[in-house]
Amino acid sequence: MRIAIPDDYQDCVRHLKCFSALADHDVTVFNDTVKDIKTLAARLANAQVLVLTRERTRITAELLDQLPDLQMISQTGKLAGHVDLAACTQRGIAVAEGIGTGSATAEMTWALIMASRRNLVSEANRLRGGLWQGSIGQQLQGQCLGIWSYGRIGQQVAAYGKAFGMRVWVWGRAGSRAKAQADGFELAPSRETFFSDSDVISLHVRLNAETYGIVGQADLARMKSSALLVNTSRAELIASDALAQALRLGQPGFAAVDVYEDEPVLGAAHPLLRLPNALCTPHLGYVETDNYERYFGLAFDHINHFAAGRPTCLVNPEVMQQLRR
């Protein structure tokens, strides 16, 4: 099959061990992101299969209308609203999804917390610039870690906090809070207290129509001037421009973010990158070798199963009755 893989920023997919699974196919890999529909359609016009790296490329009905040969989309990770599933189904295009991210994102979250609390980046840059100590960090032991949403990643981050001697409490939906309580973690008594009394808040909420902008300006304004907000989940969980404005006002005093509304961010074209109290990384949470082997390995298996007439993990299995040949 003719397979196109867009958005391979690091040109790493061809070097993964799992890439050998596509040896019998005609594969084209693109190392940048194109958002213009006309250009994107020209690139992908002959593709029978698309392999999507998370949400880096949006698949709309307008684009699908210009991809007459497309039979399948194999998604790495879970779908998150970037693929018009109804439009795919209407056009007989099968869509397979993989598994969610695991410990890689939790580890990245903790790296951001540690780096932020001890000013590691700024201090390392000072030393390279010929200077010595310029700030005083904060230890995590004894501080209060607030986890919003106690899912797979939230559970891991909560465990890290406990291991570091932090007071850990949880906010979120009833089911999330019940699970946290069953695991022995404290529950924040209210949303207001969660924001006002946490020293570190880490967001692990899944993005959907209900959670867009769920963290607003009023929430951030309740945070301490010494507090840290960490977001390795989705930028859209925070109301537009609210975080940059809050950081300028000093509440919270610091933020560490790995996700942005419009990616990739090039030319330092994001307001958070101009703020000294924000540590920004380029969506590295799931970008890790073992994770990629698992993500892409499963996506490639889905392609081979589909090509053999035995599709797996389709989110729209009904298309197999009308698949375009």
Catalytically active residues are 234, 263, 283
Nearest to 302 by CA among 88, 50, 61: 50
User: In a 3-state reduction of DSSP, which class is residue 59?
Assistant: strand
Nearest to 170 by CA among 196, 184, 188, 189: 188
Q: Give the Cα separation of 236 and 240 in Å (integer).
A: 7
233, 171, 154, 164: CA torsion to nearest 10: 120
Count of positions (residues) in the chain: 325
Cα 279 to the center of its chain, rounded Å: 16
Cβ-in-10-Å burial (0-12, 13-18, 19+) of 276 comes to exposed
Q: Give the Cα separation of 252 and 229 in Å (integer).
A: 7
Q: Give the Cα separation of 287 and 108 in Å (integer).
A: 10
Asked if 253 and 226 count as a contact pair (C-beta separation under 8 A), the reply is yes
User: In a 3-state reduction of DSSP, which class is residue 229?
Assistant: strand
**In the chain, where do the E strands start and end?**
2-5, 26-29, 49-53, 72-76, 94-96, 144-148, 167-171, 186-187, 200-203, 228-231, 254-257, 278-280
Q: Are strands 26-29 and 2-5 parallel, antiparallel or unpaired?
A: parallel
Q: Give the Cα separation of 69 and 58 in Å (integer).
A: 18
Strand partners, 148: 171, 203
Contacts 24+ apart (CB under 8 A), 270-275: 271/241, 271/244, 272/243, 272/244, 272/247, 275/244, 275/247, 275/248
